[in-house]
Amino acid sequence: MRLVLLGAPGAGKGTQAEMLTKLYNIPCISTGNIFREHISKNTDLGKQAKAFMDEGKLVPDSLVIELVKSRITQEDCKNGMIFDGFPRTIPQAEALDAMLKELSIPIDYVINVDVPDEMIIDRMAGRTVCPSCGASYHKTNKIEKVAGKCDLCGKDLIQREDDKAETVKKRLDVYHAQTEPLIAYYKGQDKVLDIDGVGSVDQVRARVMKALGVN
**Closest of 12, 17, 25 to residue 201, by C-alpha:** 12
Nearest-angstrom CA–CA distance, 38 and 181:
29
Contact 26, 127 (CB under 8 A): no
Three-state secondary structure call for residue 191? coil
Contact 180, 98 (CB under 8 A): no
Sheet of strand 28-29: strand arrangement: 28-29, 81-84, 2-6, 109-114, 192-196
CA dist list (Å): 27 to 76, 136, 168: 7, 23, 28
Contact 146, 152 (CB under 8 A): no
Angle between helices 61-72 and 31-40 (to 10 degrees): 80
Q: What residues are labeled active site? A: 13, 88, 127, 160, 171
> Apex CA 204: angle with CA 200 and CA 206, to 5°?
115
